[in-house]
Amino acid sequence: MSSVPDGKKLVRSPSGLRMVPENGAFNSPFSLDEPQWVPDKECPRCMQCDTKFDFIRRKHHCRRCGRCFCDKCCSKKVVLPRMCFVDPVRQCAECSLVSQKEMEFYEKQLKVLLAGGSFVVTLGTSEKSDTMMCRLSNNHRYLFLDGESHFEVEFSRISSMQILTDGSSPGGNVTTITKQILNIFLLFCRIKNDQDNCVYLDVKILSLSSFSYQTLTHCFSSAAALTLDSSSSCFSSSGLRERHSHLHQSAGQSLYL
Residues 127 and 50 in one domain: no
Residues 132 and 185 in one domain: yes
Residues 142 and 228 in one domain: yes
State if pTM tops 0.75.
no
Q: What sign has the CA pseudo-torsion 220, 224, 227, 231?
A: negative
11 in any annotated domain:
no
CB 223 within 8 A of CB 113: yes
Q: How many domains does the chain have?
A: 2
Residues 57 and 157 in one domain: no
Q: Which of 70, 100, 130 is the last residue of a domain?
A: 100
Residues 132 and 235 in one domain: yes
90 in any annotated domain:
yes
Q: Which of 100, 125, 156 is the last residue of a domain?
A: 100
**Residue 48's Cα: distance from chain center in Å?**
29
Q: Which of 100, 129, 153 is the last residue of a domain?
A: 100
pLDDT in tens, the chain (257 residues): 444 456 888 989 888 899 988 877 778 878 888 999 999 999 999 999 999 999 889 999 999 999 999 999 999 999 999 999 999 999 999 999 999 988 887 887 777 778 777 766 666 666 777 777 878 888 888 878 888 878 787 765 655 555 454 444 444 444 444 444 444 444 444 333 333 444 445 444 444 433 444 555 556 556 655 655 554 443 333 333 333 322 222 223 222 22
Residues 74 and 188 in one domain: no
Residues 89 and 209 in one domain: no
> CA-CA distance, 164 to 182, in Å (whole number)?
10
4 in any annotated domain:
no
Q: What CATH number is associated with residue 50?
A: 3.30.40.10
Residues 120 and 241 in one domain: yes
Range of 85's domain?
Answer: 28-100
Radius of gyration of the chain (CA): 21
